[in-house]
Amino acid sequence: MNTIAESMSTDHRACDLTFALAEQAALDNNWNDAETAFDTFRQNIQRHFRMEEEVLFPALLDAGGPAGPVQVMHMEHAQMNELIELMATAVANKNTQGYGGLSETLLIVMQQHNLKEEQILYPIADRILAAELETMFSRMQAIQ
Amino acid sequence: MSTASLSTEQAPPISVPLRFFAIAPLFLILAALIAMMGDSIADAHTPALLAATHCVTLGFIGMIMFGAMQQILPVVIGSPMPSSRLVAWFSLLPLIFGTLSLSGGFLLSNSALLHLASVLLGLAFLVFIVASLISLARAATRNATATAILLAVLALTAAVVLGIVLAQGYASGLQLDYRKLAAAHISLALGGWVMLLIVGVSYQVVPMFQLTPNYPKWLSAALAPALFAALLLYLASNFFEVLPLGFVAEGLFWLCASCFALVTLNLQFQRRRRVTDATLNFFRLGMISLLCAALCAVAALLAPAQEYFRTLSVVIFILGFALSVIHGMLYKIIPFLVWFHLFRGGVKKGVPNMKEVIPEPWMWRHLWLHITTLLAALMAFFWDAAAWLLIVGLSLQGMLLSFAIFISIMVYRRTYQRLAKV
């Protein structure tokens, strides 16, 4: 991976894939698969959030990056986490209707959030953190 | 400072887009009522059909796009419109009254109303265009969407200027080449503004709504400029009356448009999210309609004596392409806005999710109603009775969309008041 934009966007796509699998299984009332896919999705996306919140965003701010957009990204992470917890309850209760509605909602929040990161924030990060990309990658990979 | 206020830094208040969305469907109903006074749908130049068409294009399509642009610009180009509330009022009110006086002016052949319409619509579009250009100039990103929207706004500006010239010409009985001017006005408004805006926004929302792959980079970079170039070429050929150039320009335009429709359908076919909802079908219907509009336009080029091919192409473009895509977008955007503006408050419990805002069965009913209306519009060319079906379908669609927006506003209000008490 050459840039933060490429690497993190690829990570977004990987999260999307498990998201779609979980949604399909839940709507098919296939709760075993839904639970597995949902757990993977939750782990992946929360790791992605931590990579940003613990490594990328602080580095961006230290290097003089824009504080406003970073704060908005933080807030959207919190929103998504709340939706994800509601979805976990829907999975536990095998509530197809509830899961479908929440999943539809999360999809839009998540996609427009990704769009803002991929088109605005990551390119800024690539520019102002150009000298320390290697360190950034290894620190982000170390996040569990 | 609470974190909740940060999200409003970008998104306009929910009342801004919703006021446009709430009023727009009423113009569909009005268009149907006016069309009842017309003689035949095949002749678009009768006063009643001119009035009805402008109720659909200005009152419905224009109105929705005014509201949607306020909402979409911060997301797709990272830059909101300035003073969103002020821009909303100064574009909404003159658009409403301008469209009403334009329709009245056509119906009653009243020059005072046509003059008034020129002033009001000129103001509405001036405010909207200036606000859009400021937003584009401040955009944090220079992507293919920003380019497409910029070209769309430029085409809109020219379409509005020509529209005003035409209205003034009618009103004052000037000797103008109406046929030429009207052709340029229609191609700039539909082929420029509507087409380019949908192209630019699709780059972002098609992958977003259904998790499809992105549009190929070369396509998204080249498509909007190619469509715009074809449009300019067409305008030049129209102005200088160079027929072969017009052939090439129209051919190029419809080739690009078909390419967009086919690529979009193909991306949706490859979507990772397999769930099929009404909005996806609205979008697919829009793309299939765009292909049909292209076929009719090519038929019109090959058989210029058959006037109805051209009219058919325009009707399919407006009702089949633009209206389908708009409905598909609205049924996603409105439930999302209701959720978004409720959820960013402190209390999260009891906020309805997107599927609890507009009941899904109503969206499916609307899709079927829309398909029926579209088929009626096509049959109306050959069978007069179908025109009545089209009129009934159009007004029912207006009512259904009004109902959907009304219940969305009620869900928002009720939940907001309940949360405020907690």
Structure tokens at A7: 């690497």
Q: Which residues contact B179 (CB under 8 A, 6 or more apart)?
A: none
Cα–Cα–Cα angle for B134, B135, B136, rounded to 5 degrees: 90
State which amino acid sits at residue A57. Answer: F
Query: CB–CB of B66/B139 below 8 Å?
Result: no
Q: Nearest to residue B351, comparing CAs of B407, B417, B406?
A: B417
Is the pLDDT at A123 greater than 70? The verdict is: yes
Task: Please compute the mean of the pLDDT values over residues A104-130 and round it to a whole number.
Answer: 90
* Numbered residues of chain A with Cβ closer than 8 Å to any chain B Cβ: 16-17, 19-20, 23-24, 27, 68, 71-72, 74-76, 78-79, 82, 97-98, 100-102, 104-105, 107-109, 111-112, 115-116, 119-120, 123
Q: Please tell me the predicted confidence (pLDDT) of residue B126.
A: 97
Question: Hey, are the CB atoms on A108 and B332 less than 8 Å from each other?
Answer: yes
Question: Hey, are the CB atoms on A108 and B143 less than 8 Å from each other?
Answer: no
The residue whose two tokens read 């046509």 is B114
Structure tokens at B273: 């999210």
Question: Hey, are the CB atoms on A120 and B3 less than 8 Å from each other?
Answer: no
- Count Cα atoms within 13 angstroms, Cβ side, for A127: 9
Q: Which residues contact B47 (CB under 8 A, 6 or more apart)?
A: B106, B107, B109
Q: Which residues contact B305 (CB under 8 A, 6 or more apart)?
A: none
* CATH fold group of domain A4-141: Four Helix Bundle (Hemerythrin (Met), subunit A) (1.20.120)
- In terms of Cβ atoms closer than 10 Å to its own Cβ (0-12, 13-18, 19+), residue B218 is exposed
Kindly give the residue spans of alpha helices, DSSP state H, lying in B42-177.
47-54, 63-76, 84-108, 111-137, 144-172
Q: Which residues on chain B are in Cβ contact (under 8 Å) with A100? A: 275, 355
Structure tokens at B302: 């090959």
Q: Which residues on chain B are in Cβ contact (under 8 Å) with A72? A: 6-7, 9-10
d(C-alpha B106, C-alpha B52), whole Å: 10
Sequence spans of domains, chain A: 4-141
- Tell me how far apart the terminal alpha carbons of chain B are, to the nearest angstrom: 21
Q: Please tell me the predicted confidence (pLDDT) of residue A56.
A: 93
Q: Which residues on chain B are in Cβ contact (under 8 Å) with A109? A: 340
Structure tokens at B206: 């098609």
Q: Please tell me the predicted confidence (pLDDT) of residue B2.
A: 30
- Long-range contacts made by residues A52-57, C-beta under 8 angstroms, separation at least 24? A52/A8, A52/A77, A53/A77, A54/A143, A55/A136, A55/A139, A55/A140, A55/A143, A56/A4, A56/A8, A56/A125, A56/A136, A56/A140
Q: pLDDT tens per residue, chain B (422 residues)? A: 233 323 335 778 899 999 999 999 999 999 999 988 876 655 667 889 999 999 999 999 999 999 999 988 887 787 889 888 999 999 999 999 999 999 999 999 999 999 999 999 999 999 999 999 999 998 877 889 999 999 999 999 999 999 999 999 989 988 889 989 999 999 999 999 999 999 999 999 999 888 999 999 999 999 999 999 999 999 999 888 888 899 999 999 999 999 999 999 999 999 988 888 899 999 999 999 999 999 999 999 998 887 889 999 999 999 999 999 999 999 999 999 999 888 876 666 778 888 889 999 999 999 999 999 999 999 988 888 888 999 999 999 999 999 999 999 999 999 988 888 77
d(C-alpha B236, C-alpha B249), whole Å: 9
d(C-alpha B352, C-alpha A129), whole Å: 41
Give the nearest partner residue to B339 out of A19, A100, A105, using CB atoms: A105
Q: Please tell me the predicted confidence (pLDDT) of residue B299.
A: 94
DSSP calls for B329-369: HHHHHHHHHHHHHHHTSS--TT---GGGTS-HHHHHHHHHH
Q: Nearest to residue B382, comparing CAs of B6, B41, B33, B146?
A: B41
Structure tokens at B40: 């035949």
Q: Which residues on chain A are in Cβ contact (under 8 Å) with B344? A: 79
Q: Please tell me the predicted confidence (pLDDT) of residue B411.
A: 94
Q: Please tell me the predicted confidence (pLDDT) of residue B5.
A: 29
Structure tokens at A66: 């824009």
State which amino acid sits at residue A23. Answer: E
Give the nearest partner residue to B273 out of A20, A68, A116, using CB atoms: A20
Question: Hey, are the CB atoms on B355 and A120 less than 8 Å from each other?
Answer: no
Q: Please tell me the predicted confidence (pLDDT) of residue B42.
A: 56
| Residue in B closest to A75 by C-alpha | B3
Query: CB–CB of B24/B78 below 8 Å?
Result: no
Query: CB–CB of B94/B55 below 8 Å?
Result: no
d(C-alpha A46, C-alpha B99), whole Å: 50
Q: Name the DSSP class of B212.
A: P
Is the pLDDT at A31 greater than 50? The verdict is: yes
- Three-state SS at A130: helix
Q: Which residues on chain A are in Cβ contact (under 8 Å) with B209? A: 107-108, 111
Q: B38 — phi, psi (to 5°)? A: -75, 165
- Count Cα atoms within 13 angstroms, Cβ side, for B8: 17
Phi-psi region at B241: left, alpha or beta (left = phi > 0; alpha = psi -120 to 50): left
Is the pTM higher than 0.90?
A: yes
Q: Which residues contact B206 (CB under 8 A, 6 or more apart)?
A: B212, B215, B264, B267, B268, B283
Question: Hey, are the CB atoms on A104 and B355 less than 8 Å from each other?
Answer: yes
Q: Around Cβ B410, how many Cβ atoms within 10 Å?
A: 12
Q: Please tell me the predicted confidence (pLDDT) of residue A66.
A: 84
Structure tokens at B333: 């955007």
What is the separation of C-alpha B229 from the centre of its chain, rounded to a whole number of angstroms? Answer: 21
d(C-alpha B276, C-alpha B282), whole Å: 11
The residue whose two tokens read 């840039």 is A3
Question: Hey, are the CB atoms on B75 and A112 less than 8 Å from each other?
Answer: yes
Q: Please tell me the predicted confidence (pLDDT) of residue B217.
A: 93
Question: Hey, are the CB atoms on A119 and B141 less than 8 Å from each other?
Answer: yes
- Count Cα atoms within 13 angstroms, Cβ side, for B303: 8
Q: Nearest to residue B290, comparing CAs of B325, B268, B258?
A: B258
Phi-psi region at B236: left, alpha or beta (left = phi > 0; alpha = psi -120 to 50): alpha
Q: Please tell me the predicted confidence (pLDDT) of residue A116.
A: 85
Kindly give the residue spans of alpha helices, DSSP state H, lying in A1-142.
4-27, 31-50, 57-62, 67-92, 96-116, 122-128, 133-141
* Numbered residues of chain B with Cβ closer than 8 Å to any chain A Cβ: 3, 6-7, 9-10, 75-76, 78, 140-141, 143, 204, 207-209, 211, 272-275, 332, 336, 339-340, 343-344, 348, 352-356
